[in-house]
Structures are given as structure tokens and as C-alpha cells.
């Protein structure tokens, strides 16, 4: 079959990826495999996300932000599970438009985020595709044995908390598509947030110590809380009015006539990469202290009760969502 | 962006992939992450391969064999490194033609090979793409601490061995494309070999115990020996006449007029997934005994000397390859 790699598989590995490899575990990317020593007393945590041009990112998104988003989306899973990331494997399915300059840009993004988050490349593959570009990353982390936080530990009486603000991912997507009427600097901030969300790794340890169940907000707050309620076999009740908004999100919200419709967009849009979790009321003070210490916003948005499903109230009335979250497919 | 998954992301995970998940480590595929306990004294070995429709597999290849080939290509890396595989993560980038029946077929292939090779799914992602289908797998294995065989341990005086037969992958590709004039049952056998190669896992332990350097034959025997020579900073000399051929390969070879050109095709075509490795002459007897015990063909094809590069001789004369191996890109 045709060998159409304009930039060359081996050259791409040697010149672009090898400098990103873990000095020991990556074996210089010359050995088909990465090798990571076991750490007695720790569990290996693995997560894998795939993204496709035109589906999960825009053809106009710069490739360094695509690389960083891919990494951050995976890091966000680690944070929500209370894990400490250390390395990753990467598969790049380059499209025809991905020549040397584009691949270098992609790797610039990886390099920047490797430094920010303390992870290194341990292996992967690089191929070409006649279709749109796509990428997948397997991220590796550690947790103390048996301590990985699940979706299934919530019980009646727990409280529901969320980090940061909800809705900026969706607003940023609107901004990147030129659909947002706000001051340019606000739009730019939202687009940045959409392209390079902040994984809440700084809160992974409090999550591990105190969360009874946890998930990162990727599909949308309502959908992800639904996953958590299903896995825990509980009912989750939240108030839409208290779901935290960013300054930019508030500015957008203030311009809406239909407040309920606006809130529905924010809580179902997804791509937020905040952590929503449940915890016992006895831990609320400690959680708030840990959040403050990290200058991280933490908001109590609801509670866990017996039953099933998710109930979101606006002005005291349950809201019936047409679609609880965004499905990329 | 459009949500175009005809079969549904959550349904695909719940109905097709969850039954393939490791009962403990996969967390029912409901938890964003897989969790694998560390094994003190062992190293974690990771490899990741990606395949694209129209590049690495044919649009006419049945999807169960595509899944099995993806797994086997990764398993072959494990075998060549002396590792014992136990689990995998999978990213499926489904094309429009991948509805329920196609996905079920793909998972049938996974299920069959999970059973054959003793591995289980521990996580992954499923997305859709407007382009051709592609898939990537991260395979996980264990080796005793520090014992993963590399490409770089060959030294002058070592001998060069290869398992099985070389050339059937390339012949099988010709067969799948309707380009092969041989008896139909021979063509069918070669196409089978191309679609579902046999990873030499049964020989992983002798490799680990006795190989000084090792690589699986994916790019082509000459190209892969070149990688090994480069990494080990040695020169490798082989005789093309002694490179082992299968019965079908021999039948094809017997019909050629230009023997040298025929041999060049077989040793540069790739997709063989045999193991080519170097070992000390003192271990030759033990290696042959281990191979015989497993009814595995093992052929000495050359030797390691000082210098650099790869020299392949035909009728005593060095052959100048136009291209040493196949590059998918």
C-alpha cells in the first residue's frame, strides 16, 4: 500500500519525538517498547483518549493546542481519580496537511505541557492517514494501592462539589467558531480555555483522600453527574443557580434573556475538565481549606440522596433536559 | 461539532467492549481509567501500534482479522522483547461504514485472540471519524526487572537467528490484492498469514534468556536487521539463500526466473512478525533445543561482526537494495 508520509516515519520519531522521551523508560524510542519499573505499593492507573479533526477539534485549532488539549484531557482523568501522572504513549495519525512545520508545532505543545505537568513520552506510533488527522494518548499514573477514586462510591447524605467554573468549554467552542458576541478579550480567554483546559491535578490528593466518588466534566456536568449517579446507584440533586460561572461566563450569562436556557447550555456543553465529586459532609471544611490553599474555587452544588438519576433544579423546579450532555460519538 | 456515531459511544462500550474487559483492572470500562496493581520485581513493558484503513490494512480485510492483526502486531513486539503480555488499551476511530455488525465483527476478533493469548481489555476510547477507520492499541506486559531484551546488545561474534519463515506477509498481501498466481489453497494460506500473523510468544522466554538483541520483523527482514545493527553499533552479515521460506513461499519462489529479485522481495516486504535476534554461539545448542521443543523452526542466517550496517549476500556477492524495507509512513 502507498507509502505517503511526506515527513518520514523514522525522521519524525528521531528528530521530533525522541527528544521528548523519558531518558530511561522511553529507550530513545528505538526499541519498539517502553519499560517502566514496578513501584511496590502503588497501582498503575491508565487512561486513553482519542481525538479526531473535525469532531473533537477544529481544523483551525493550532496543532500545539491540539497536542496540549489531548494531554490535558487525559491528565484531567488522572486528577479526578486521585492519580499522579508520570508518562504517556502517543499515536499520531497525521493527515496530508501535517508536514514538518505542523508536526514541529504539535511537538512544541507536547514539550510545553510535559514540563508543566511532569510527564514524559515512553512510546507510541506515528502513521499517516488519507483522512482527517487523529491522535490518541495513553496516559500513565500511580496511586497508592487500592486508592484510585471511582465513580461508584457516592452514598446518600454525601455532598456534591465542583472545582473551578462550568460552561467555559462550551462558550470557548462557540468563540472559536465565531458565534460569541462578547468583548474580544473575553472571547479570547474562553477560546484559550476551550483549547487548553486546566486539568485540576493540584487537587488530586484531596480528591484521593476525601472524595467518595469523582469524575471529570468532559461530556457535560449533567451527563457526567448522571454517570456518577448510575455507577453509585444513587440520586444526585443539584441547583443550577449555584453552578459556578467564570467572569467571562457571567458576562455572557448577563446578556441572556432566557436564564434557564442559558444555564442549560452551560451545564450540558461539556469540555470543562473540572472535577465534580461527592464527599461526606464531615470533610467539607477540610476540602474547602485544601482548595483555598491552592487558590482553587470549590463550590457545593448539591447532594446525594436515595434513588436514581440526576435532578437539576432551576427556581426550585426540576429541569427536563432534552440532552444531558454532548456526545462526540 | 457533529455527533455522528451511528451506533452510539456508550452502547458500544457497554454492549461490545465491557464483556472484553478484565474483571477487576478494567473497572467495567465505567471509570475513565484502568487500574493495574504493581508487581514488585517486574518491569512494565508497553508498546503501541496504530493502523489505518487503506494504509496498513485493506478496505476488503474482514474487521475481525483487522482486530486480530492489530493485537498480534503488538504481541509480536512483546515476544521479541521477551515480555509476557497481560492486557491492552484500545482506541477505535470508526468510519461511517462501521455500524453495529462491523463493530461486533471487530470485537469477535478481539474476543478470539484474548482467549488465545491470555490478555484482557483494561481501557480505551471509541470515537468516530469522517475519514477511513483507524485503530490503535497499547499493549501491556511484564518482564523480570531489567530483563527486557533490547535492540542494542548485539556484539561481534554473535550469530543471527530467525524464527519461522520470511516473506509470507508480503506474499499474503499480494494474494489479498489478487496479484498472486499460485494454487488457490496456497494463496488462501498466505492471505491468512498476512491477515493474522502468528506472534512468536512461545519463544519469548528463550529470547529473554539467551538473545543479546532482538526485534520482530515488521518493516522487512533487511530493514529490521538494519535497525538492530544501528542500535548495537555492529555490522550484520547474512546469506539470502539460507533465509527460511514457507512451503507456499517456496512454491512461489520455484516459479521465479530471477532468483535474486524474488529473494529481495521476500526479505524486504515486511509484515512477517517473526523474531530475528542475535545470540552467542555458546547458546546455539540450547536455542535449537528450545525451538524444537516448541516445534518452531529456527534458522541461523548470519553473524555479527565489527563495523556498521547490514550486508546481505546472494551467490557470495553483496546485494545492493533499492529499498531495505517497507515504509507505511
Does the CA dihedral B186-B199-A138-B325 come out positive or negative? negative
Nearest CB to B132 within list A38, A89, A129: A129
CB contacts of B123 in chain A (<8 Å) are 46-48
ipTM: 0.90
| Contacts A48 to B, Cβ<8 Å | 89-91, 123-125, 138
| CB–CB contact B128 A35 (8 Å) | no
Q: Given this model, what pLDDT does residue A29 score?
A: 85
Task: Tell me whether residues B326 and A151 touch, CB distance under 8 A.
Answer: no
| Average of per-residue pLDDT across B235-262 | 95
Cα(A170)–Cα(A192) distance, integer angstroms:
12
A29-38 pLDDT tens trace? 888 899 999 9
Length of chain B: 329
- Band the pLDDT of A6: cuts 50, 70, 90: low
- The 3-state DSSP class for residue A21 equals strand
Whole-model pTM? 0.92
| Beta-carbon contacts below 8 Å between A and B | 251
Q: Which residues of A296-315 are buried (b: 16+ CB within 10 A; e: fewer)?
A: bebbbbbbbeeeeebbbeee
CA distance A254 to chain B (A): 25
pLDDT tens sequence across B105-149 = 999 999 999 999 999 999 999 999 999 999 999 999 999 999 999
Residue B117: how many other CB atoms lie within 10 Å: 18
Shortest Cα–Cα distance, A202 to chain B (Å): 19
pLDDT at A240: 96
Cβ contacts (< 8 Å) between A43 and chain B: which residues? 35-38
Chain B residues with beta carbon closer than 8 angstroms to that of A231: 30-31
Q: Which residues from B are below 8 Å from A143, CB to CB?
A: 35
B293 Cβ contact partners less than 8 Å away, ≥ 6 residues apart: none
Mean pLDDT of chain A: 93
Asked which of A29-38, A154-163, B226-235 is least confident by mean pLDDT, the reply is A29-38
How high is the mean pLDDT of chain B? Answer: 93
- Proportion of chain A above pLDDT 90, given as a percent: 89
- The position carrying cell 534468556 is B209
Which of B78, B96, B129 to mutate against chain A (most A CBs within 10 Å)?
B129
pLDDT at B1: 46
- Which of A31, A136, A326 is facing B125, going by the closest CB pair? A136
Q: Quick check: B328 and A143 CB within 8 A? A: no
Q: Which chain A residue's Cα is nearest to B176?
A: A1
pLDDT digits (tens, 9 = 90+) for A74-112: 999 999 999 999 999 999 999 999 999 999 999 999 999
**Cβ–Cβ gap A231/B30 under 8 Å:** yes
Residue B4 above 60 pLDDT? no
Q: Is the pLDDT of residue A21 over 90?
A: yes
Q: Which residues of B touch A152 (CB under 8 A)?
A: 30-31
Q: Is the Cβ pair A127, B143 closer than 8 Å? A: no
Partner residue facing A81 (CB), from B8, B33, B89: B33
Amino acid at each position: 500500500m502507498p507509502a505517503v508520509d511526506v515527513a518520514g516515519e523514522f525522521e519524525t520519531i528521531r528528530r521530533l519525538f525522541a527528544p521528548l522521551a523519558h531518558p530511561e523508560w522511553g529507550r530513545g524510542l528505538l526499541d519498539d517498547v517502553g519499560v517502566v519499573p514496578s513501584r511496590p505499593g502503588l497501582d498503575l492507573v491508565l487512561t486513553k483518549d482519542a481525538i479526531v479533526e473535525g469532531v473533537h477539534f477544529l481544523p483551525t485549532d493550532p496543532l500545539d493546542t491540539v497536542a496540549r488539549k489531548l494531554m490535558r484531557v487525559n491528565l484531567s482523568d488522572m486528577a479526578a481519580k486521585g492519580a499522579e501522572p508520570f508518562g504517556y504513549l502517543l499515536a499520531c495519525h497525521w493527515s496530508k496537511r501535517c508536514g514538518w512545520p505542523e508536526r514541529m508545532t504539535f511537538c512544541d505543545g507536547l514539550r510545553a505541557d510535559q514540563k508543566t505537568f511532569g510527564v514524559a513520552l515512553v512510546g507510541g506510533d506515528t502513521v499517516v492517514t488519507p483522512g482527517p488527522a487523529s491522535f490518541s494518548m495513553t496516559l500513565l499514573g500511580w496511586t497508592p494501592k487500592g486508592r484510585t477514586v471511582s465513580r461508584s462510591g457516592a452514598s446518600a447524605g454525601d455532598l456534591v462539589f465542583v472545582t473551578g467554573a462550568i460552561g467555559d468549554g462550551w462558550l470557548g467552542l462557540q468563540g472559536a467558531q465565531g458565534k460569541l458576541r462578547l468583548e474580544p478579550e473575553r472571547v479570547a480567554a474562553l477560546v484559550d480555555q476551550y483549547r487548553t483546559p486546566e486539568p485540576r491535578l493540584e487537587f488530586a490528593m484531596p480528591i484521593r483522600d476525601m472524595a467518595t466518588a469523582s469524575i471529570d466534566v468532559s461530556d457535560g456536568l449533567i451527563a457526567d453527574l448522571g454517570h456518577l449517579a448510575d455507577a453509585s446507584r444513587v440520586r444526585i440533586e443539584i441547583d443550577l443557580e449555584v453552578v459556578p460561572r467564570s467572569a467571562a461566563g457571567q458576562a455572557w450569562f448577563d446578556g441572556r434573556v432566557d436564564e434557564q436556557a442559558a444555564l442549560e447550555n452551560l451545564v450540558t456543553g461539556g469540555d470543562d475538565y473540572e472535577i465534580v465529586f461527592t464527599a461526606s459532609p464531615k470533610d467539607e471544611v477540610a476540602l474547602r481549606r485544601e482548595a483555598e490553599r491552592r487558590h482553587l474555587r470549590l463550590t457545593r452544588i448539591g447532594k446525594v440522596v436515595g434513588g436514581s438519576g440526576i435532578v437539576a433544579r432551576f427556581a426550585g423546579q426540576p429541569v427536563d433536559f432534552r440532552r444531558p450532555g454532548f456526545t462526540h460519538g
